[in-house]
Amino acid sequence: MDKKLNRKKGNWAEDVAAFYLEKYKNHQIVARNYSDKTGEIDIISKIDQMYVFTEVKYRANMHHGTPGQAVNFRKQEHIIRTAILYLQKRRVINPRIRFDVVEVVGTNKENVRVRHIENAFTSYGYYL
């Protein structure tokens, strides 16, 4: 599958996830596709005074496992380091943070399924 088509599907999945988080989970989206030298975060949002860093994973179907299984330790590390830099640049002191994964499965809005995994992983062991 070519990169342009993959990116289009990824953008669609991120749109679905952002809509879901805002409408059903009361998140306020503060950034999308935030990137820094350490990596990229699909969605950064706030709920109350907590920052939520969300990785969105898309699959057309679950023949090869759940989308969230693709968020391996290395990917988690990149997200955590990028989140730390994001907070440091904004001089956020003693932040409340959470790392979530949103799985989007399906090929169009008629058959899409969204699964929100709160606290999918932690930043335990990293200095914030």
pLDDT, one tens digit for every residue, the chain (128 residues): 577 777 788 899 999 999 999 999 999 999 999 999 999 999 999 999 999 999 999 988 777 778 788 889 999 999 999 999 999 999 999 999 999 999 999 888 788 999 999 999 998 766 55
Q: Exposed (0-12), middle (13-18) or buried (19+): which is 32, by Cβ within 10 Å?
A: middle
> What is the C-alpha separation between 60 and 50, in angstroms, rounded?
31
The tokens of 4 are what? Answer: 């342009």
> What is the C-alpha separation between 106 and 29, in angstroms, rounded?
23
Q: What is the pTM of this model?
A: 0.90
Task: Indicate the pairing of strand 96-105 with strand 39-47.
Answer: unpaired
What CATH architecture does domain 3-121 belong to? 3-Layer(aba) Sandwich (3.40)
**pLDDT score recorded for residue 28:** 98
Domain ranges across the chain: 3-121
**pLDDT score recorded for residue 12:** 92
**pLDDT score recorded for residue 101:** 97
Residue 67's CB: how many other CB atoms inside 10 A? Answer: 21
